[in-house]
Structure 1
């Protein structure tokens, strides 16, 4: 039971970091400015449903696509770790997730872009889903836990967006930026750990240790 709780805790933290519900909040507030309360709620729900479909799709077929291309997951894990680390560095030192998302031209449906993608279902989140559901390392029950925790974090993200007005009045843009940078630091640590695990799988780390 203790090991299961550790897995749940670790997976929840990783999901929280890569989906970044707090970092999505300022984006939601900006793109729904001027909307009625009913339309704002509809936009939030639609964005979450689209993000869930995208992430769940990567959970189900992500590794199949890699295997079809003949790419070992360890290689993708290292590449994904590099991308995650770069993403984390941008969260820490860059203009921040809200500013980055809002600088991009918005499409006709803000629920799809920039809310569902890339704010909620970010490239980092897609890569992380594939890494956390490696068929060679994780059983079906373990992958089910990952899917459930992903849904839980998305549900929390929906709740935060529905409570956008009061939350932003409390933390402000500065508070959201600070929290996003802390999440970036945690994500950098996750990326380093994923790279080490991938190198250990390939055999690079033992080779270096023995030389």
Structure 2
């Protein structure tokens, strides 16, 4: 049953976790490296991932013998490497000529938009909110993600080269902090 208050709450929670505004410097860097970002493809793939994870997430993880913490740790490691690239201005991932254009999927659709944080949040929301309201919140966020992805050229022109460099490093540090936080919260030692 549609509940506007629930949809609003879910939308705000997912907006803060997805943090597409904070990912703009990474998106611009990715576009420069790849040549082009397929905004529609990235938005649709991340949406499919989120909705599939809403309904099948725990079952998929169990199928592979994984828990949510392991999934979150893997996403945190990828985010850590991306953040290091942003901060240091280096490329740690070797460019594979056969994978040109795949940047719309990895790392854009996953893990930047539909990352471990987003997917584990969706699993948590499912225990509190109605699935229909969660899907509505996901769709509202995807519309905003698409608009931001389409606006990166304009944003880059407004920021300029030096503004983009500063912003990229600042958001790299923020992304690094988020990766460390996810890593710390999901790392459990057994004795």
TM-score computed with the length of structure 2 as normaliser: 0.69
User: Can you give the 5+ residue segments of structure 2 that lack an aligned partner in the other structure?
Assistant: none
Once residues 68 and 28 of structure 1 are traced to their aligned partners in structure 2, the CA distance between those partners, rounded to angstroms, is 31
Once the two structures are superposed, residues 137-156 of structure 1 have per-residue CA deviations (whole angstroms, 9 ceiling, x without a partner) of 54220332133213312321
Give the length in aligned residue pairs.
181
Once residues 77 and 182 of structure 1 are traced to their aligned partners in structure 2, the CA distance between those partners, rounded to angstroms, is 23
Q: CA deviation at 1:129?
A: 4.1
Write out aligned runs for 1:51-200 (5 A): 51-62=42-53, 63-64=55-56, 66-67=58-59, 70-71=62-63, 76-92=67-83, 94-96=84-86, 99-100=90-91, 103-107=94-98, 110=100, 112-114=101-103, 116-123=104-111, 125-134=114-123, 135-140=126-131, 141-190=133-182, 192-193=184-185, 195=186
The structure richer in helix per residue is 1
Answer yes or no: is 1:21 the counterpart of 2:24. Answer: yes
Q: CA deviation at 1:56?
A: 1.6
Preserved contact between residue 81 and residue 191 of structure 1 (Cα < 8 Å): yes
Preserved contact between residue 25 and residue 167 of structure 2 (Cα < 8 Å): no
Once residues 130 and 157 of structure 1 are traced to their aligned partners in structure 2, the CA distance between those partners, rounded to angstroms, is 20
User: Can you give the 5+ residue segments of structure 1 that lack an aligned partner in the other structure?
Assistant: 33-42, 200-211
Change (3 A) 1:160 1:69: closer
SS of the residue aligned with 1:59? Answer: helix
Preserved contact between residue 8 and residue 145 of structure 1 (Cα < 8 Å): yes
RMSD: 3.9
Between 1:137-146 and 1:123-132, the stretch displaced more is 123-132
Once the two structures are superposed, residues 166-194 of structure 1 have per-residue CA deviations (whole angstroms, 9 ceiling, x without a partner) of 4343514343133222222134335555x
Once residues 107 and 72 of structure 1 are traced to their aligned partners in structure 2, the CA distance between those partners, rounded to angstroms, is 28
Once residues 151 and 19 of structure 1 are traced to their aligned partners in structure 2, the CA distance between those partners, rounded to angstroms, is 16
